Chains A and B, each alone.
Chain A
Amino acid sequence: MSKIHVSTSINGDAVEYLCDPSETLLDVLRNRVGLTGAKEGCGSGDCGACSVELDGRLVCSCLVLAAEAEGKEVSTVEGMADGEKLHVLQQKILDHAALQCGVCTPGILVAAKALLEKNPDPTETEVRYWLAGNLCRCTGYDKIIRAVMDAAAEMRGA
C-alpha cells in the first residue's frame, strides 16, 4: 500500500506528511503531526470534538481524508492562542468555568471561533444551533453558551 505525500499548512506552518489513503485528517493531526488537541469522540461527525477549520471552513477532521488537505490551510485549537496570550474565547471559557472534563473544549473553541468570525453578534439561539454539533456531556452547555456570548461582546467592543 503506497502512501500519499501531502503538503499543507497547519496553523500557519508549512507541514508535509505521508499518509495512507484511508487515513483521516484527524488521524494525521494526532498521530503523524503530533497535534492531539483535536479529539476523536465518535469518528462519525456526530460529536464535534475533532473540529478544525479547513480553508476557513469549520469541519469535522474525522470526516476529511488526510489526502484532501493538499494545498489547504488547516487551523486547530493549538493555533488559537497568540504566544502567551490566550484568544478571548479561551479566556472566557476559563473565566466562566465552562468546562469540566475539557475533552470537548478544543472542538467547542474552534467552532465558536468560526461562528464569531462569521457572526460577531449572535443571539443565544444562534450560538446554541451553531454549536449543536459539539456534544458536551459534563456542563449542560449553560456556561459554554454564556462564555461564547461574553467573548462575542468583548470582541465587538475591542
Chain B
Amino acid sequence: MRFESPDTIEQAVELLNTCDGISRLLAGGTDVLVQLRLALVEPDLIVDIKNIAGMRNITAEDGGFRIGAAVSGAEMGEHEGLVALWPGVVEAMELVGSTQVQGRATLAGNLCNASPAADSVPAMVVANAVARIVGPNGTRDCPVIDIPVGPSKTSLAKGEVITSIYLPARPDNSGDAYLRFIPRTEMDIAVSSAGVNLTIDSAGVVTQAQVSLGAVAPTVLVVDDAAKAIIGTKLDDDAISALQAACSAACNPIDDKRGTVEFRTKTAGVMAKRAALIAYSRAGGSK
C-alpha cells in the first residue's frame, strides 16, 4: 500500500486516475480506516487530501457556505454562521459517531461512503446541497442526491474527487432539522432517519418543504408526497399525520440486525413528524 499526501487537487486526481489497483481517498478516515482494519478493502493507494489548499475551509459564498471536503464535523459545529443557516445539516453531521469521530469525520466522506444510513445525507438532500467535483475532465457540480447510487456505490468516475459541498442561501423564515432513530442514545448507526427543510410565510403557513428519509431504502428517499402534505398548512395535526403516513408509505427497507422492515417503516414516519415540528419551530413558526 502506498500513502500519498499531495499539495494540489490536480496531483490528487492524477494519482487516483493513474492507479491501476484499488485506491481510497483519505479525508477524516473514519470509514476508510475501519475498512482497512477489518480487511474489507486492501487498497494499493491511499491519497490524503487534507494538505490540499482549501480542503479544510468553510467559506461564505453567495449567501451560502462552501464546506471543504476535509472539514470535520466538530469544525462545522464550531462555525456560528453555518450553524445559524443550516442547523439541521450541522446536527446531522454531528450525530455521526463519537466526539472522537467528530474530530475527523467529514461531510464529503459521509456522502462518499454511500451508506444508506449516513446521517448527513438526508439533511444535505433537503438542503439542496451540491457537491463540487474535480476529475480528469475538469470541475463539475452535482446535487448531493445524485452521488450515492446504492450501498457503498457512488456516481463518481475514476479519478474524481469531491472537493467541497455547497449549502446554498435560503429564504428568511426557513428551518431544517434532522432526526434519526437509534437503539442507544449515541454510537449507533441510524435505523431510520428523516430530514425536513421548510419555509413559512408571515402567517406561519408552510410555503415550501422538502422531506427525505434515510436507512429505509438503498439510497436516501425524497418524499414529495410528505412535503405536499405540509405545504399550505400550519403543521396542524392532520397535516402532520399525512406527512407521517406518506413517509411510512414511501419506505422500502430491509430486515437486518439493526431493525425490521416494520420497525423502520413505522419509525421513519415518526422521525419525519418530529423533525418537521423542529424545522417549523426553527423557521419561526409557533404551534
Q: Do A and B touch directly, given a CB cutoff of 8 Å in the complex?
A: yes
The answer to whether A111 and B5 have CB atoms under 8 Å apart is no
Given A59-B104, A67-B5, do A111 and B99 touch, yes or no (CB 8 Å)?
A: yes
Contacting pair A21 B46 (CB below 8 A): yes
Chain A residues 1-37 with CB under 8 Å of chain B are: 1, 4, 20-22, 24
CB of A60 within 8 A of CB of B100, answer yes
Contact of A57 among B29, B33, B103 (CB under 8 A): B103
Per-residue interface assignment for chain A, residues 121 to 152, with 1 indicating a CB less than 8 Å from any chain B CB and 0 otherwise: 00000000111111000000000000000000
Q: Does A43 contact B (CB under 8 A)?
A: yes
- Among A46-54, A74-82, A87-95, which stretch is in contact with chain B? A46-54
The residues of B that contact A129 with a CB separation of less than 8 Å are 99, 185-186
Is the beta-carbon distance between B46 and A133 smaller than 8 angstroms?
Answer: no
Contact B33 A24 (CB under 8 A): yes
Q: Complex Cα distance A32/B2, Å?
A: 20
Decide: B29 and A63 in contact? CB cutoff 8 A.
yes
Q: Please indicate the chain B residues that have their CB under 8 angstroms from the CB of A60 in the complex.
A: 98, 100-101, 104
Mask: chain B, 21-41; 1 = CB below 8 Å from A; 0 = not? 000001001100110111000
CB distance from A137 to the nearest CB of B (A): 14
A62 touches B33 (CB 8 A): yes
Q: Is B97 on the interface with A (CB-CB < 8 A)?
A: yes
Cα separation A20 to B36 with both chains bound (whole Å): 13
**Closest A residue, CB atoms, query B98:** A133
> Do residues A45 and B100 form an inter-chain contact, with CB atoms below 8 A?
yes
Cα(A54)–Cα(B74), bound, Å: 13
Complex alpha-carbon distance, A51 and B98, angstroms: 11
Judge if A116 is at the interface, Cβ distance under 8 Å: no
Q: Would A51 and B100 be within 8 Å (CB), given that A44-B34, A45-B34 are in contact? A: yes
Contact across chains for A132 and B187 when beta carbons are under 8 A apart: yes
Would you call A132 and B98 a contact (CB within 8 A)? yes
Chain A proximity of B191: nearest CB distance (Å): 17
Q: Closest B-chain residue to A135, C-beta based?
A: B187
Could you tell me if B37 and A59 are in contact, using CB atoms closer than 8 angstroms?
no
Determine if A68 and B98 form an interchain contact, defined as CB atoms under 8 angstroms apart. Answer: no
- In the bound complex, residues from chain B placing their C-beta under 8 Å from that of A99 are none
Question: In the complex, which residues of chain B have a beta carbon less than 8 angstroms from the beta carbon of A1?
Answer: 1
B219 at the interface (CB under 8 A from A): no
What residues make up the interface of B, taking CB atoms closer than 8 Å to A?
1-3, 5, 26, 29-30, 33-34, 36-38, 46, 48, 50, 72, 74, 97-101, 103-104, 185-187
27 contacts between A and B (CB under 8 A): A4-B3, A20-B1, A21-B2, A22-B36, A24-B33, A43-B37, A45-B97, A45-B101, A48-B98, A48-B100, A51-B100, A58-B103, A59-B103, A62-B37, A63-B29, A63-B30, A63-B33, A63-B101, A63-B104, A64-B104, A65-B3, A65-B48, A68-B50, A70-B5, A132-B186, A133-B97, A134-B98
Which residues of A come within 8 Å of B, CB atoms? 1, 4, 20-22, 24, 43-46, 48, 51, 54, 57-60, 62-65, 67-68, 70, 111, 114-115, 129-134
Shortest 4 CB-CB contacts between residues of A and residues of B: A133-B98, A132-B186, A21-B3, A57-B103
